[in-house]
Amino acid sequence: MKLFVAGLPYDLDDAELMEIFEKFGTVVSARVAMDRDTGKSKGFGFVEMQNADEGKDAIENLKDISLGKKPLIVKEAEEKQGPPSGGFRPGGQNRGGFNNNNRRGY
């Protein structure tokens, strides 16, 4: 079960996040989201528990807990929906350049 965790202190690292969740079962992975430009924590992360019962136990026991100034928010992670924003979209209209359908007969 993959969990979304928000309200993390900005100095918390992956190992510390894993340690918090190991109390509730086997942790497959624990990652704190980092800003690409600054290299600093975004204050949230994802934890993958080995099974759903352990994940639900963690959700139940960590609600209303604060590791710093903000209370933790722990819930089941939602799967990404739809295509990623930006980039190439198949089936779009030709917006310029050479197109065989636009030949001018010369």
pLDDT of res. 97: 52
pLDDT of res. 79: 78
pLDDT of res. 69: 84
- For tokens 């636009």, the residue is 102
Edge-first strand listing for the sheet containing 73-76: 27-34, 41-49, 2-6, 73-76
| Residues 35-90 pLDDT 10s | 999 999 999 999 999 999 999 999 999 988 888 888 999 999 987 776 655 555 55
pLDDT of res. 63: 83
Do 75 and 3 meet the contact criterion of CB atoms below 8 Å apart?
A: yes
Q: Is the pLDDT of residue 106 over 60?
A: no
Do 32 and 2 meet the contact criterion of CB atoms below 8 Å apart?
A: no
Domains belonging to the chain, first-starting first, are: 2-76 (3.30.70.330)
| Residues 78-96 pLDDT 10s | 877 766 555 555 555 555 5
Q: Which two tokens stand for residue 83?
A: 């295509």
Tell me which H or E stretch contains 44: strand 41-49
